[in-house]
Chain A
Amino acid sequence: MPVIDLAQTGLRELNAALHSQGSGTNETLWEVLNPRGSHAVAVGVNAPIAVEIKGSVGYYCAGMNREASVTVYGSAGPGVAENMMSGEVRVKGDASQYAGATGKGGLLIIEGNASSRCGISMKGIDIVVRGSIGHMSAFMAQAGHLVVCGDAGDALGDSIYEAKLFVRGAVKSLGADCIEKEMRGEHLHALQALLNRAGIVDVKASDFKRYGSARKLYNFSVDHADAYG
């Protein structure tokens, strides 16, 4: 198992080594030591490998991830797993702003809390947060699922498109065009599957409420002009 100690090796060597792994690589488990809040750790990986980061990371950890499973044994700075395409990113601690921003696929699990703008402009990624999320989360969220086992801050799902939001606790306020929606069987099913994949066994899908788009801002209408501010 390759072990890269960022206290000794530069970020460039780490990412270059990870980028040189193809789909058939034998080096399937990588360990990264002493990240010490470095930015852009394990970004742009495109191989079915596991990367275990032993400590906290700075901005954009696992950005644009494809296929890899990246685990942060610590907290993550802004933009963790931004624009992820596939694979899985797990943060054992908390995540800062913009977690999973613009992600197109894959699963992001945050075992602690996530800050503001979690899932902003998400385009198909699934995000499961064990704790709570901050304000303006799922802003302009286009597709995918955001599951929050705790509470959500102000303006959840502002200007949301077709993403599906599930919150177990309180929602401080909903953003423009975001409404509570009926939780049907198919939604409970999808939610339960995500909780299972995230390894969360102590909460019940039936305790969640679903939120999504009222679709009133999809085509401009003078009658809704106030909603545009």
Chain B
Amino acid sequence: MSYENPPTIPRKSATFDDYTLSEIRRAATTGIYDIRGGGSKRRLPHFDDLLFLGASISRYPLEGYRERCGTEVVLGARFAKKPLELKIPITVAGMSFGSLSANAKEALGRGASAAGTSTTTGDGGMSTEERGQSQTLVYQYLPSRYGMNPEDLLKADAIEIVVGQGAKPGGGGMLLGQKITDRVANMRTLPKGIDQRSACRHPDWTGPDDMEIKILELREITDWQKPIFVKVGGARPYYDVALAVKAGADVVVVDGMQGGTAATQDVFIENVGMPTLACIRPAVQALQDLGMHRKVQLIVSGGVRNGADVAKALALGADAVSIGTAALVALGDNDPAYEAEYNALGTTAGAYDDWHEGKDPAGITTQDPELMARLDPVLAGRRLANYLKVMTLEAQTIARACGKNHLHNLEPEDLCALTIEAAAMARVPLAGTSWIPGQAGF
């Protein structure tokens, strides 16, 4: 063995890792920021960092298949004459027609209806495919007001005022030219083929006092029939929820930073907003401080993937959750069956996020008629219904193990945290201790 000039192994920087280097090279070559779909891809404190305790001597469980564990939820009974009655506390989040194909929208409607839950429109208006198939349809009222019209408003079962999205709190929408086909352009009153950037602020109000008057107007137009949701990105959940309640919302949707988007700057997705886990307790606290918990419903979204996530969100105080990305995956998004085509696009199944380019091999995030035809809305709808059913069964399994005869009876006391961060954010004790960081002075 020689001790002269011993070599070191080539070492790559943790700060300047391969991805970072590739992004610097990409920026230097193109002169424009990276735009992509999906949510934050970095590791964040999340539902995985929580565990259920299950029953023990002091808590007795319910029988798996025999004893009832309710899952239904009523959304919007505060002011609306016709609140939504859903069979499961998992809704399908707003995803725009334009970003998604008509077949994908139809499939979402079919799947959600079969599972007894709602879907939500999105930027760009109400598509006939979705209204046709979705038994319960929430109509988004967005800053762009693309495709917004009173006829569709009156056809909706509820209205969701979008103030922000978790993927981009403070940002507007984006739909690039490739996806602005004749139909999409026509619905949005825009020229075909342009890069469309939708507004980040509502055009006809600023601030919470104005929003209260806007809600009054929408209620008057719809004769106080329809529930009004307010959706905010996970930025200042305590104050945003309190202000939405004061403005007269029936339901508040809080979307954390893992939440997907159709297209936005990567720098925005990864660096603005708070993780979903950090949003729930402040949001619930606001409702409790106002005496409105369970009276104004809280829907949480951003990175919900399975029944455990549903159960954890509900245990922390949410009334329901909403899913975007997971619903698309259930339809067939990023399916390894299309691996060769993903490779041809310079990516791999599971990583494909250039949804704005409209070349989705799975026919979901595209307006190309040939690609779109690959998605069978009946089959894809059935897949979504199956997936929603599995999530519900999983959540029930956990709830029964905790001795709860309704998902809404889950509570923070049923949880412990695996990390200090998660314990602090979810305000539950670190596993094996009684320590909740930030409480009792330390």
- Which of under 10, 10 to 19, 20 to 34, or 35 or more describes the interface residues of A? 35 or more
A124 and chain B: residue at smallest CB distance:
B189
Of B198-206, B275-283, B412-420, the one touching chain A? B198-206
User: Is there a chain B Cβ closer than 8 Å to A147's Cβ?
Assistant: no
Once A121-B144, A220-B32 are accepted as A-B contacts, the answer to whether A85 and B149 lie under 8 Å apart by CB is: yes
Which residue from B31, B144, B194, B220 sits with its C-beta under 8 Å from A219? B194
12 A-B pairs (CB sep. < 8 Å): A11-B220, A44-B222, A59-B213, A60-B217, A64-B153, A98-B205, A120-B204, A140-B203, A142-B188, A142-B189, A218-B194, A220-B195
Chain B residues with CB under 8 Å of A142's CB are 188-190
Shortest 8 CB-CB contacts between residues of A and residues of B: A44-B221, A222-B31, A79-B204, A98-B204, A218-B194, A64-B150, A101-B204, A102-B145
* Complexed CA–CA distance, A139 and B193 (Å): 20
The verdict on A114 contacting chain B, using a C-beta distance below 8 Å, is: no
- Closest chain-B Cβ to A216's Cβ sits at a distance in Å of 11
**Candidates B32, B177, B213; contact of A40 at CB < 8 Å:** B213
Q: For the complex formed, measure the closest distance between the CB of B327 and the CB atoms of chain A, giving whole angstroms.
A: 29
CB of B216 within 8 Å of the partner chain:
yes
Q: Tell me the minimal C-beta distance from B367 to chain A in angstroms.
A: 17
**In the complex, A63 Cα to B216 Cα: how many Å?**
11
Q: Is B221 within 8 A of A101, CB to CB?
A: no
Check A121 against B190 for contact (C-beta < 8 Å).
no
Q: How far is the CA of A19 from the CA of B225 in the complex (A)?
A: 13
Bound: A39/B205 CA distance, A: 13
- Determine the distance from Cα of A64 to Cα of B199 in the docked complex, in whole angstroms: 20
Residue of A40, A98, A162 touching B217 (CB-CB under 8 A): A40
Q: How far is the CB of B188 from chain A (nearest CB, A)?
A: 8
Contacts of B199 in A (CB 8 A): 121, 140
Tell me the total A-B contact number using a CB cutoff of 8 A: 100
Q: Is the CB of A145 closer than 8 A to any CB of chain B? A: no
Report yes or no: B205 in contact with A78, Cβ–Cβ below 8 A: yes
- Residues of chain B contacted by A101 (CB below 8 angstroms): 203-204
Q: Tell whether, in the assembled complex, residue B220 and residue A44 are in contact, meaning their CB atoms are under 8 Å apart.
A: yes
How far is it, in angstroms, between the C-alpha of A97 and the C-alpha of B205 when the chains are bound? Answer: 9
A123 to B213, CA, bound (A): 23
The answer, yes or no, to whether B214 is at the interface (CB within 8 Å) is: yes
**A225 CB → nearest B CB, Å:** 7
Contact B31 A225 (CB under 8 A): yes
Measured between beta carbons, the chain A residues less than 8 angstroms from B204 are 60, 78-79, 82, 97-98, 101-102, 120
Query: Is B210 at the interface (CB under 8 A from chain A)?
Result: yes
- Cα A44 to Cα B223 with chains together (Å): 9
Bound state CA distance, A219 and B193, in angstroms? 8
A135 CA to B203 CA in the complex, in Å? Answer: 14
Is A34 interfacial (CB 8 A cutoff)?
A: no
B369 interface residue (CB < 8 Å to A): no
Q: How far is the CA of A123 from the CA of B194 in the complex (A)?
A: 16
Binary contact readout B44-60 vs A (1 if CB under 8 angstroms, 0 otherwise): 00000000000000000
Complex partner residue of A12 from B31, B148, B224, CB under 8 angstroms: B224
Which residues of chain A are near B205, meaning CB under 8 Å? Answer: 78-79, 98
